[in-house]
């Protein structure tokens, strides 16, 4: 596929990146906002997933099949969730925010002001753990963790749906209720400097992700596209499509690069029933997974790669699907270079 062509799935060779028959874990994941569907995490242990159920946050061990409450009987239903660097954070519809230490007893419940906390992100900047809260009031509130000192309040021209920081800590991408993608540099002193506003889709953007080596980022849009950029350029590198586009069912909700560079995959979910997986080395081959029976549509609640990228986890409202990644085949070929 050459740069700028799309949608990918119509005309690209097919490859089995994951084994098509998943192990199904009966678990319930609750969607509390119809567009916010990044609700499944696999932050530390490749056999443990984290997700919201009603007013709780559950940790489920896929090996022992045991549940643990990480947060129980919250006063709100989580609309956003993240876990990284040993901390868990969840946001709610009325600016509620809960943060807890995953390895200790510390926790805090607060409100950030504004409206819906559409997204929460934890990342390290110059050795400091930071929590970024994306709000419908067109701001990103940046807190130091665990002190919860407000470091910055970034104002955007649209409601903010998601933030992702590059693994090297040098760049940040922001998406929201417009077709613009906002790119920031993070300075050595930890300040955020807006460097570019990019446009590729025709509708709002809801999810974004960085490649493991920080050279590419991907953005998922309501219009059923995923656009990929090289961090060194403002020109779209690839535009990928969905199985059900332009139908509303084909809206892309969650996009994730694999977390291990030896695997190099990009996966993204549709509103219902389908997950798309693409070779992130050259974006020339793809696999489309149907996660529901042919006569039914299942809502997808989220998706995550295991920390070692040996499995792809897909969340539904009534189960978690565990797909083994064909890691041997992926490691057999050298990593290709992008144009």
Which residue in this structure is represented by tokens 């955007």? 156
pLDDT of residue 330: 59
DSSP 47-67: TEEEEEETTEEEEEETTTTEE
Lowest mean pLDDT among 166-170, 198-202, 233-237, 257-261: 257-261
| Domain 8-331 CATH (choose: 2.40.160.100, 1.20.1260.10, 3.40.50.10440, 2.130.10.10) | 2.130.10.10
> What pLDDT, in 10s, does the model give residues 153-164?
999 999 999 999
Cα–Cα distance for residue pair 97/121, rounded to 1 Å: 12
> What pLDDT, in 10s, does the model give residues 199-248?
989 999 999 999 999 999 999 999 999 999 999 999 999 999 998 887 88
Cα–Cα distance for residue pair 282/337, rounded to 1 Å: 7
Cα–Cα distance for residue pair 170/168, rounded to 1 Å: 6
Lowest mean pLDDT among 28-32, 73-77, 79-83, 280-284: 280-284
Residue extents of the structural domains in the chain: 8-331
CB 292 within 8 A of CB 338: no
């Amino acid at each position: 596929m050459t740069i700028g062509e799309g949608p990918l799935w119509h005309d690209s060779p097919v490859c089995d990146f994951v084994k098509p028959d998943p192990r199904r874990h009966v678990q319930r994941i609750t969607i509390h906002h119809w567009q916010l569907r990044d609700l499944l995490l696999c932050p530390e242990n490749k056999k443990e997933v984290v997700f919201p159920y009603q007013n709780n946050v559950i940790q489920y061990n896929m090996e022992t099949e045991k549940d643990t409450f990480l947060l129980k009987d919250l006063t709100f239903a989580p609309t956003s969730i993240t876990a990284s660097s040993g901390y868990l954070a969840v946001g709610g519809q009325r600016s509620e925010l809960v943060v807890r230490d995953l390895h200790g007893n510390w926790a805090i419940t607060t409100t950030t002001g504004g409206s819906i906390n559409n997204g929460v992100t934890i990342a390290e900047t110059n050795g400091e753990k930071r929590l970024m809260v994306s709000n419908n009031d067109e701001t990103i509130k940046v807190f130091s963790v665990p002190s919860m000192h407000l470091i910055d309040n970034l104002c955007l021209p649209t409601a903010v749906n998601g933030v992702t920081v590059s693994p090297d800590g040098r760049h940040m991408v922001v998406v929201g209720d417009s077709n613009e993608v906002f790119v920031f540099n993070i300075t050595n002193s930890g300040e955020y400097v807006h460097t570019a506003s990019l446009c590729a889709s025709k509708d709002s953007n809801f999810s974004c992700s960085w490649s493991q080596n920080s050279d590419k980022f991907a953005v998922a849009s309501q219009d059923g596209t995923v656009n990929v950029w090289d961090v060194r350029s403002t020109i779209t590198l690839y535009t990928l499509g969905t199985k059900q586009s332009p139908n509303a069912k084909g809206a892309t909700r969650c996009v994730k690069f694999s977390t291990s560079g030896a695997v190099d995959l990009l996966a993204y979910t549709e509103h219902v029933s389908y997950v798309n997986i693409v070779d992130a080395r050259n974006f020339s081959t793809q696999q489309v997974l149907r996660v529901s029976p042919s006569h039914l549509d299942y809502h997808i609640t989220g998706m995550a790669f295991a920390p070692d990228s040996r499995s792809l986890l897909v969340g539904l409202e009534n189960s978690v699907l565990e797909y083994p990644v064909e890691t041997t085949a992926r490691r057999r070929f050298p990593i290709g270079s992008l144009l």
